[in-house]
Amino acid sequence: GQPILYSYFRSSCSWRVRIALALKGIDYETVPINLIKDGGQQFSKDFQALNPMKQVPALKIDGITIHQSLAIIEYLEETRPTPRLLPQDPKKRASVRMISDLIAGGIQPLQNLSVLKQVEEELQLTWAQNAIISGFNALEQILQSTAGTYCVGDEVSCPQVFLYYRFKVDCTPYPTISSINKRLLVLEAFQVTHPCRQPDTPTELRA
């Protein structure tokens, strides 16, 4: 059967996987998991059995269920190798993984919903901003040596999603991040998978 993606429209981790599926031309079914409704549908018994970390995304494909967005993307790359999401050269692959891990491990986990909920409400915005600013300061520097048209060279690799606008982070100090992001956002795979165009996008946020 078709792959099934458990996704939340606004989740940046889900968006990464949606982009990878779109870039590779893989059709899939979306099962929306609302992280806020009903106390958070990710905490349901059914979803917990699917992903014990109680997070989106999770992908059912080829008879298995994978979670952790980068593990999903690497599996797609290994089983559906074209078009490539990772360059062939090991040193460039290292750059791609380094940048992906910086974002997926170094920024996003620190500003996701379950962590923010543990911070006092009036401090949450600053907390999220700090996580993003620290990471972007580093990323902007790294991109000086890796970037071409996109993050690593001139081919789109391991999709990067920048959610700075949600947390009102001033991106003037990050011209490279901003211009790469702008170039990526016009590509079809980034457009059709955008949070504003998902099956579970609330009406008021729809494109």
Partner 1 sequence: MKQVPALKIDGITIHQSLAIIEYLEETRPTPRLLPQDPKKRASVRMISDLIAGGIQPLQNLSVLKQVEEELQLTWAQNAIISGFNALEQILQSTAGTYCVGDEVTMADLCLVPQVANAERFKVDCTPYPTISSINKRLLVLEAFQVTHPCRQPDTPTELRA
What residue ranges bind partner 1 (CB under 8 A)?
51-55, 62, 64, 66-68, 70-72, 74-75, 78-79, 90-91, 93-94, 97-98, 100-102, 104-106, 108-110, 114-115, 118, 127, 130, 134-135, 138
Q: How far apart are CA 49 and CA 97, in angstroms?
A: 29
CA proximity to 152, closest of 63, 207, 87: 87
Query: Is 29 or 89 the residue whose CB approaches partner 1 more closely?
Result: 89
DSSP letter, residue 51: -
Whole-number minimum distance, CB 49 to partner 1, in Å? 9
Query: Is 57 or 195 the residue whose CB approaches partner 1 more closely?
Result: 57
Whether the bond into 159 is cis, omega within 30 of 0: no
Query: Is 135 or 195 the residue whose CB approaches partner 1 more closely?
Result: 135
CA proximity to 143, closest of 183, 177, 172: 177
User: Amino acid letter at 23?
Assistant: L
Q: How far apart are CA 124 and CA 115, in angstroms?
A: 9
Whole-number minimum distance, CB 56 to partner 1, in Å? 13
Whole-number minimum distance, CB 90 to partner 1, in Å? 5
Whole-number minimum distance, CB 199 to partner 1, in Å? 25
Query: Is 31 or 110 the residue whose CB approaches partner 1 more closely?
Result: 110
Whole-number minimum distance, CB 97 to partner 1, in Å? 4
CA proximity to 192, closest of 35, 26, 6, 1: 26
Half-sphere exposure at residue 100, Cβ-oriented, CA atoms within 13 angstroms: 23
Query: Is 136 or 164 the residue whose CB approaches partner 1 more closely?
Result: 136
